[in-house]
Amino acid sequence: MAKGAIYRDEAVVLRTYKLGEADRIIVMVTKGRGKVRAVAKGVRKTRSKFGSRLEPTSHIAVQLYEGRELDIVTQAETIDQHRAIRDDLDLITRASAMLEAVDQLAQEGEVNPRLFQMLVGALRTLDGTESPLVVPSFFWKVLSLEGYRPEVDVCVQCGDDGPLVAFDIESGGTLCRTCRRGTAVSAEAVVLLQQILGGRLNEALAEPVSPATHEVDHLATRAVEYHLERRLRSVTVLDSH
Ligand SMILES: [Zn+2]
């Protein structure tokens, strides 16, 4: 039996896919309910009033009807369409990396308003600045939120405060000359990591593209992949019991 309740929430559309002839499944992360998968009926058949509002990156106020298996989108109002992102292939690619990470991290039925706010903030920043560090900063912040904040102020092995010359994802942070392993990092990249993770994000976001921003970007992507893989494995282990 359908529960039949109607609820409203704020959401960011992560991805959509076809269902049957005319419908579309909308995967979104919501402020109040975590990840939600819902059906938008008839959006592919006609020029639906809300079909165009339900595109990836869209920040929407949405009304849903609790269905037996899937909820149904009954209304959607645009809060921010992020048109600048959608009109730019490079920005779309960068936004997609964040949407994909959130899609994999957010669970259905697991409320995480902080993750939602961070995504909304990062999309807005991506929409409004030229910074090469929007996505990597988002990744480092998300990892911290998930409990995997790396050590970037001292050597994660011996506690020495420098110079820090390497970063090892498995060890969980930066390393000194004596303990070095993992990836070599420049002093400039270490400073950027310290800014991002130490409450000075705006300073990092003001940096133009440089070899150091590339280093931070590369490390962030690998750290997120490492974390997601490990989590996937732990879920598999849990499921097998
Ligand atoms: Zn050390």
The alpha carbon of 189 and the centre of ligand 1 are apart by a number of angstroms equal to 18
60-63 long-range contacts (CB < 8 A, ≥24 apart) are: 60/10, 60/11, 60/12, 60/13, 60/28, 61/8, 61/9, 61/10, 61/11, 62/8, 62/9, 62/10, 62/11, 62/28, 62/30, 63/6, 63/7, 63/8
Q: Is the pLDDT of residue 44 over 80?
A: no
Q: Is the pLDDT of residue 230 over 90?
A: no
pLDDT band at 109 (very low <50, low <70, confident <90, very high): confident
- Residue 236's pLDDT is 62
What is the amino acid identity at position 98? M
- Mean pLDDT of all residues belonging to the chain: 91
The alpha carbon of 191 and the centre of ligand 1 are apart by a number of angstroms equal to 17
- Residue 1's pLDDT is 42
The alpha carbon of 214 and the centre of ligand 1 are apart by a number of angstroms equal to 24
Strands laid side by side in the 164-168 sheet = 173-176, 164-168, 183-184
- Over range 53-82, report the average pLDDT: 92
The alpha carbon of 124 and the centre of ligand 1 are apart by a number of angstroms equal to 38
Structure confidence by residue, pLDDT tens digits, 133-171: 999 999 999 999 999 999 999 999 999 998 999 999 999
pLDDT band at 120 (very low <50, low <70, confident <90, very high): very high
- Residue 239's pLDDT is 57
Helix segments in 11-133, DSSP class H: 83-86, 89-105, 113-128
Residue 123 or residue 228, greater confidence: 123
The alpha carbon of 175 and the centre of ligand 1 are apart by a number of angstroms equal to 5
